[in-house]
Amino acid sequence: AQTVTQSQPEMSVQEAETVTLSCTYDTSESDYYLFWYKQPPSRQMILVIRQEAYKQQNATENRFSVNFQKAAKSFSLKISDSQLGDAAMYFCALSGYALNFGKGTSLLVTP
């Protein structure tokens, strides 16, 4: 069975600062993808970043980057230069026959 664990229900960061959201997972598959989705108050699910397990290089999308540690089954999201618009629920997800989501981390951005 696949599991995704987000151990931080809530996080807070000041504007322009950096914050890291944690995610650990478990899977018996050797080939898989990992994702971070953002869900703002509108509740739209927005893809933030994707990591292919076979790639050693960590994915980066503008201010968003991941630290993918395959052996440790860890997949954290770093948000640099945080902006008020980054405030949202962030879900870590693991690919399979369907996406398996963590419980989410609510990110608050303060001025």
Partner 1 sequence: AAGVIQSPRHLIKEKRETATLKCYPIPRHDTVYWYQQGPGQDPQFLISFYEKMQSDKGSIPDRFSAQQFSDYHSELNMSSLELGDSALYFCASSLRQGPSNLQETQYFGPGTRLLVL
Closest approach, Cβ 84 to partner 1, in A, equals: 22
Q: What is the dihedral of CA 54, 106, 62, 2, to 10 degrees?
A: 10
Return the number of the residue (40 or 83) whose C-beta is nearest partner 1: 40
Return the number of the residue (56 or 111) whose C-beta is nearest partner 1: 56
Closest approach, Cβ 14 to partner 1, in A, equals: 26
Which is nearest to 86 in space by CA: 15, 10, 34, 20?
15
Closest approach, Cβ 15 to partner 1, in A, equals: 26
Closest approach, Cβ 51 to partner 1, in A, equals: 11
Residues 84 and 5: their CA atoms lie apart, in Å, by 26
CB-based contact 99:91 (threshold 8 Å): no
Return the number of the residue (26 or 81) whose C-beta is nearest partner 1: 26
Interface ranges with partner 1 (CB under 8 A): 31-33, 35, 37, 42-47, 50, 52, 91, 95-104
- Give the end-to-end CA distance of the chain in Å, rounded to a whole number: 41
Return the number of the residue (9 or 83) whose C-beta is nearest partner 1: 9
Chain centroid to Cα 94, Å, comes to: 10
